[in-house]
């Protein structure tokens, strides 16, 4: 087995790889199953949202990072039952109305959408709250975190650093909501090239004069910053329209009409927001005592539970045939079936 040979050779050479991604917390033992390019780790007696992990050893992301960092790399990724809807990436020049459109969407469909809170080194505006609009951070801290692999993408925009952390996108998906990212064209390009499948929308102003008016009327930037943003806007609009990054271009002339078009392309026209959409994944609790075997893409977890007068065996079949995502982030697309008694389900 290729991966086994690779691991053995690393161990012999006593190589200490760079470990990327959020590590699982320690536990009272684990089972491990070797795949072609990653290791499935099942934590014994852990909480249901912390049981299934993957240590990626030779996936696309790991290979990319190995090249970039010039060291051996492995990456952790948490395994999640079920799938998440594709995130929505919204880009466009400063002042075009991205934030306004996103706020309208989140207000009308609060249980459906969640905002990816970016990190930035720019100073907060008057009404902006740390952790809500942005995670405001120091440049040196953010640079360190970029090196440690915390960000899905980052870019220098209008003289400041901005970045989407892996966590920012995953907490929204974990809450069963569809993630909205407000990022610049460079960020959109990076996400396009990443393993994150998304829908890409570029918002255009009706004219440069109107863009300038909106920016000035908003009154949040200094004259110098306004001029810088307007200079950058020209190039952003050209890239937004001509590159192959974006699936849709939206002209934000009349706000209500633009919002209606946005809802239409997201399949929300005529949609009535009623009770929260329950996207919470089913859960599975693995007992401390279990053994694991692998048959093709199926993992059979045999659980041993002793009752008063007898010992019974239940099995859970974990299907890993349609894995999606992976590091950086979560590995989704897992499914399970209980074979035998249901008392292991929470
Ligand atoms: N690449 C990237 N761009 C971001 C991120 N967060 C915000 N931006 C972009 O940075 C630019 C400046 O944002 P901001 O300072 O809030 O000003 P605004 O454009 O006037 O709303 C906008 O184009 C945002 O879309 C991020 O995490 N990554
Ligand atoms: N279609 C529109 N017509 C007129 N003003 C708009 C429109 N869309 C947004 N605005 C206003 O323009 C300003 C910039 O919008 P904002 O959402 O902050 O832009 P961005 O997030 O793209 O920088 C805000 O004051 C907002 O109220």
Q: 237 phi and psi, to 5 degrees?
A: -65, -40
Closest ligand (CA of 101): 2
Question: What is the distance in A from the centroid of ligand 1 to the CA of 88?
Answer: 15
| 332 a catalytic residue | no
* DSSP for residue 22: P
* DSSP for residue 95: T
Q: What is 88-265's CATH number?
A: 3.40.50.300
Question: What is the distance in A from the centroid of ligand 2 to the CA of 118?
Answer: 19
Mean pLDDT of 273-277: 54
| 229 a catalytic residue | yes
- Give the Cα separation of 241 and 211 in Å (integer): 16
The position carrying tokens 């863009």 is 211
The position carrying tokens 């912390």 is 50
C-beta 236 within 6 A of ligand 1: no
Mention every residue, 6+ apart, whose C-beta is less than 8 A from residue 122.
134, 136, 158, 160, 162
| Counts for the chain of helices (H) and strands (E), in that order | 9, 19
CA angle 21-27-31, nearest 5°? 85
Question: What is the distance in A from the centroid of ligand 1 to the CA of 95?
Answer: 11
Of 56-65, 216-225, 267-276, the one with minimum mean pLDDT is: 267-276
- Whether 329 and 81 have beta carbons less than 8 Å apart is answered as no
Question: pLDDT: is 329 or 256 the higher one?
Answer: 256
- Whether 13 and 72 have beta carbons less than 8 Å apart is answered as no
| 66 a catalytic residue | no
Which atom of ligand 1 is nearest to 187's Cα?
1
- Whether 229 and 95 have beta carbons less than 8 Å apart is answered as yes
Span 251-274, pLDDT tens digits: 999 999 999 999 999 999 877 665
Of 24-33, 85-94, 261-270, the one with minimum mean pLDDT is: 24-33
- Give the Cα separation of 283 and 82 in Å (integer): 10
Pocket of ligand 2 (CB under 6 A): 92, 94-100, 214, 217-218, 252, 255, 258
ipTM of the complex: 0.99
Which pTM value belongs to this model?
0.88
C-beta 157 within 6 A of ligand 1: yes
Which atom of ligand 1 is nearest to 93's Cα?
23
Alpha helix locations (H) across 113-222? 139-147, 166-174, 185-193, 208-218
C-beta 218 within 6 A of ligand 1: no
For the chain, the structural domain boundaries read: 2-83+281-345, 88-265
Q: Is the pLDDT of residue 341 over 70?
A: no
Question: What is the distance in A from the centroid of ligand 1 to the CA of 183?
Answer: 5
- Give the Cα separation of 269 and 266 in Å (integer): 8
């Amino acid at each position: 087995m290729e991966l086994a040979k690779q691991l053995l050779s690393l161990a012999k050479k006593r190589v200490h790889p760079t470990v990327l991604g959020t590590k699982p917390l320690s536990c009272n033992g684990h089972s491990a199953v070797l795949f072609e390019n990653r290791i499935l780790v099942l934590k014994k007696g852990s909480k249901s949202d912390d049981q299934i992990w993957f240590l990626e050893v030779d996936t696309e992301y790991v290979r990319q990072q190995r090249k970039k960092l010039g060291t051996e790399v492995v990456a952790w990724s948490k395994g999640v039952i079920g799938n998440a809807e594709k995130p929505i990436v919204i880009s466009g020049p400063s002042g075009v109305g991205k934030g306004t459109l996103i706020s309208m969407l989140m207000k009308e469909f609060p249980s459906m959408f969640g905002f990816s809170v970016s990190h930035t080194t720019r100073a907060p505006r008057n009404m902006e709250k740390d952790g809500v609009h942005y995670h405001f951070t120091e440049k040196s801290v953010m640079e360190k975190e970029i090196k440690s692999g915390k960000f899905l993408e980052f870019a220098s925009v209008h003289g400041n650093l901005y970045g989407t952390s892996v966590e920012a996108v995953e907490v929204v998906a974990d809450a069963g909501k569809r993630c909205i990212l407000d990022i610049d064209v460079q960020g959109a390009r990076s996400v396009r090239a990443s393993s994150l499948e998304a829908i890409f929308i570029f918002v255009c102003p009706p004219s440069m004069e109107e863009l300038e008016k909106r920016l000035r009327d908003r009154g949040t930037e200094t004259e110098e910053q306004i001029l810088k943003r307007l200079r950058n806007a020209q190039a952003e609009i050209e890239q937004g329209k001509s590159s192959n990054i974006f699936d849709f271009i939206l002209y934000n002339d009349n706000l209500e009409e633009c919002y209606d078009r946005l809802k239409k392309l997201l399949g929300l026209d005529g949609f009535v927001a009623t009770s929260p959409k329950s996207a919470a994944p089913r859960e599975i609790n693995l007992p401390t005592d279990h053994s694991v075997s692998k048959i093709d893409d199926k993992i059979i977890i045999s659980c041993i539970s002793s009752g008063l007068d007898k010992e019974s065996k239940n099995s859970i079949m974990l299907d890993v045939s349609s894995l999606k995502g992976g590091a950086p982030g979560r590995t989704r697309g897992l499914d399970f079936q209980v074979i035998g008694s249901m008392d292991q389900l929470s």
